[in-house]
Amino acid sequence: MISYMPYPVRIDDIVVETEDGSLKTFTLAFEQERHQKAWQHVPGQFVMLSVAGAGEAPVGLASSPTEGERLLCTVNRAGLVTTALHQLKVGDRLGLRGPIGNGFPLDREMKGKNLVMIAGGFAVTILRAALMSVLARRQDYGRITFIYGARTPGMLLYHEELRQWAQRGDIDLYVTIDREAPGWAGLVGFVPTIAAQVAPPPTNSVALICGPPIMIKFTMPPLEAIGWTDDQVYLSLENRMKCGQGLCCHCNVGPTLVCKDGPVFTRAQVKRLPLEY
Amino acid sequence: MQTWMISPVELDGLIQQWQKSYAVYVPALSKPATAATDCAPGWRRINAGEPWTLPVGPTPASVKSFYFPQPEILMTFHLEENHPDKGVMREPLKSHEMQVVLGVRPCDAASVLLNQLPFTEDPLFMAKCQRTALVGFTCTTRLSTCFCTEMGGSPHHCAGLDLALSPLQNGFLLEVLSEKGETLVAGCKLVPASESDLAVLADRRQGQGATSSYSSQLEVLKACALSRLYDAPMWQELGEACINCGACTFICPTCFCFDMQDEVVQGQGRRIRYWDSCMFPLYSQHTSGHNPRGKKLQRTRNRFLHKLKYFPDRFGPFSCVGCGRCIGDCPVNIDIREVLNDLVRRTELE
């Protein structure tokens, strides 16, 4: 049955992630134990966050189910609901509906494969969830390449995790920023450029690419040049949506509903859709 | 199920009987927007003995709003500072009043069945199906905008109705079509329809079947690749003509997309859902400003393809019953029948 009723959740912690303050990570805890117990999600799924009086907005889950009971949502302050969200304090109540969508097939098509995760900007949130899930069962996957770019060092999310991932030794981690910046000793260059230099061959591999459309557009040619095919590449679409349950019709891309049929599609599937995303 | 013969006087008696235990609604003949009732614009609740008139052809407003009210309260909440349940969502009060909608045409009855396909998991919609009985009249007059037969329906069909009344010379044939219908006529002393009356009805239905060869022609749309229809040059002209006013989507019995918003007055809030229209630019606009259907052409195409391709892809039938309201109300004379013809021609091209 469809339900519009959000679960009440409390904000346990708020981390301001970026130098401009536009991205905050909210740690959310269910108020009611039965909601907590019933909750299950997979990386790549999203939730509708609801601020009473402002409305609802779809937000990707940044935490993996392997990280315990708390949920993490990194929210970009952009519209009415997310602006209201950014004004909330630790201890405040909000509503959460979900999990919504299909998520990445980490336990199915992706299991046993080499993984290439490519993220641009704050789209890294759901790839954080995917990577945390994969790291919890590291032996189930092959080589992991994680490429992540942001405009400036101050716009990078998850500094602590990036440091930990770099030290593990079982992830090929490439963090890049768009232009030289004082104090930055790491990679410099746009994500497609870095991907062209470091992308592994496509044998027994899948890629998860999340970022702005322009980044995805320019990341594909270098991958294709070394033999990657569209059905190996997983993307996550976004569209305006209201119900999140395949009914209100807002998020349709031709015959496909992003909320119900997606948001994760292979690039081959996306190419068969009209350009309405 | 049983078929009876009922005179106009007996029908009046029956309606008065219903008014003792049901809310009875009839078509309001003024403009839908000005005849707002408690739940369904375009319909009015009548009291015992109050006269009413059934318009020729489809009623001005469809029965959509009985199932999918405009707006519908999804939940309520308090935002007063220091309120112990500040921000907690509560279920709204539910109405359990049984209602009879009188004067439903076959096209609208068919629309309820179509809408049940996407809404089958929606408890709010389905609860209203439970408490609503549809009493319909089959049509003897076909308006110039009517095309139910082309969409696989018929002016004499009764699918979706609980009681169907078919006018004969000296009264109506009353078909009881569901348990709700049986409850409505329970305890009434009615005369069973004669063989010859039943033959008249069967004859009417038989005659209509033959004209629906066009509907089989339309089936080719369902099998046609989306890209062929999507890239048709016809959308250019149609998109230029359409002013995206959204009238067609609101008047349409099978357009069902909705928006959800919060409303707060003096600390008391409610989250509502209300009819939206894919004709409006904001419908698909991202918070970033990017709009996947930012052009008029794209929005016009989306509406027609949703009805004639996307909905059938998912659920089987076309999301159109041929009531013709959109043809009558379109300010720039867009005719969905011409769109259908153009699309069919498009499938025939090599």
Same domain, B139 and B44: yes
- B306 interaction partners in chain A (CB closer than 8 Å): 249, 252
Same domain, B271 and B235: yes
Given an 8 Å threshold on Cβ–Cβ distance, is A55 in contact with B262? yes
- B276 interaction partners in chain A (CB closer than 8 Å): 242, 248, 250
Same domain, B140 and B239: no
CATH number of the A114-236 domain: 3.40.50.80
Given an 8 Å threshold on Cβ–Cβ distance, is B292 in contact with A275? yes
Distance CA A50, CA A244 (A): 12
- Bridge partner list, A192: none
Interface of B with A in 52-91 (CB under 8 A): 74-75, 77, 79, 86-89, 91
Same domain, B14 and B100: yes
What is the structure's pLDDT at B42?
Answer: 86
Domain assignment present for B226: yes
Where helices occur in chain B by DSSP H, the ranges are 8-21, 64-67, 106-119, 123-130, 179-185, 195-210, 213-223, 226-230, 234-241, 247-251, 296-305, 311-315, 325-329, 336-348
Domain assignment present for B82: no
Nearest to A53 among B119, B269, B293 (CB): B269
Q: What is the DSSP letter of A21?
A: S
Same domain, B191 and B277: no
Domain assignment present for B157: yes
Give the domain extent around B63: 3-76+92-212
What is the structure's pLDDT at B218?
Answer: 86
What is the structure's pLDDT at B30?
Answer: 67
Q: Would an 8 Å CB–CB cutoff place B38 in contact with chain A?
A: no
Domain assignment present for B243: yes
Same domain, B263 and B199: no
Over residues A65-93, the mean pLDDT reads 95
- Which of B191, B212, B233 is at the close of a domain? B212
pLDDT 10s per residue in chain B (350 long)? Answer: 789 999 999 999 999 999 999 999 999 876 554 444 556 788 888 888 888 999 999 999 999 999 999 889 999 999 998 898 888 999 999 888 899 999 999 999 999 999 999 999 999 999 999 999 999 999 999 999 999 988 989 999 999 999 999 999 889 999 999 999 999 999 888 899 999 999 998 988 886 654 556 777 888 899 999 999 999 999 999 999 999 999 999 999 999 999 999 999 999 999 999 999 999 999 999 998 999 999 999 999 999 999 999 999 999 999 999 999 999 999 999 999 999 999 999 988 75
pLDDT tens-digit map of A147-178:
999 999 999 999 999 999 999 999 999 999 99
Residues of chain A with CATH 2.40.30.10: 7-100
Domain assignment present for B161: yes
Shortest Cα–Cα distance, A90 to chain B (Å): 15
Nearest to B287 among A78, A247, A274 (CB): A78
Nearest to A247 among B87, B118, B309 (CB): B118
User: Which residue in this structure is represented by tokens 């109540």?
Assistant: A93
Distance CA A151, CA A261 (A): 32
pLDDT bucket at A269, cuts 50 / 70 / 90: very high
Please measure the distance between the N-terminal and C-terminal CA atoms of chain B and give it in whole angstroms. Answer: 49
**pLDDT of A30 higher than 90:** yes
Shortest Cα–Cα distance, A267 to chain B (Å): 17
Residues of chain A with CATH 3.40.50.80: 114-236
Which comes out higher in pLDDT, residue B205 or A86? A86
Q: Would an 8 Å CB–CB cutoff place B226 in contact with chain A?
A: yes
Given an 8 Å threshold on Cβ–Cβ distance, is A8 in contact with B305? no
Total count of domains within chain B: 2
What is the structure's pLDDT at B34?
Answer: 46
Calculated CA dihedral for residues B328, B332, B337, B342, nearest 10 degrees: 180
What is the structure's pLDDT at B35?
Answer: 45
pLDDT tens-digit map of A182-194:
999 999 999 999 9
Same domain, B290 and B168: no
Q: Would an 8 Å CB–CB cutoff place B306 in contact with chain A?
A: yes
Same domain, B263 and B155: no
Q: Are A84 and A71 in contact (CB under 8 A)?
A: no
Same domain, B49 and B157: yes
Bridge-based pairing of strands A264-266 and B23-27 is unpaired
Comparing alpha-carbon positions, the chain A residue that sits nearest to B87 is A52
**pLDDT of A240 higher than 90:** yes
- Which of B212, B243, B277 is at the close of a domain? B212
What is the structure's pLDDT at A84?
Answer: 97
Q: Name the average pLDDT for chain A.
A: 95
- The residue of B94, B116, B119, B122 whose CB has the most chain A CBs within 10 angstroms, and thus the best one to mutate to test that interface, is B122
Same domain, B51 and B195: yes
Given an 8 Å threshold on Cβ–Cβ distance, is A55 in contact with B257? no
Same domain, B174 and B258: no
Counted across chains A and B, CB pairs separated by less than 8 A come out at 114
Given an 8 Å threshold on Cβ–Cβ distance, is B122 in contact with A275? no
- The residue of A1, A48, A247, A260 whose CB has the most chain B CBs within 10 angstroms, and thus the best one to mutate to test that interface, is A247
Nearest to A248 among B258, B298, B313 (CB): B258
At the second CATH level, the architecture of A7-100 is Beta Barrel (2.40)
Say which residues have a Cβ less than 8 Å from residue A37's Cβ, sequence separation at least 6: none
What is the structure's pLDDT at B29?
Answer: 78
Q: Would an 8 Å CB–CB cutoff place B264 in contact with chain A?
A: yes
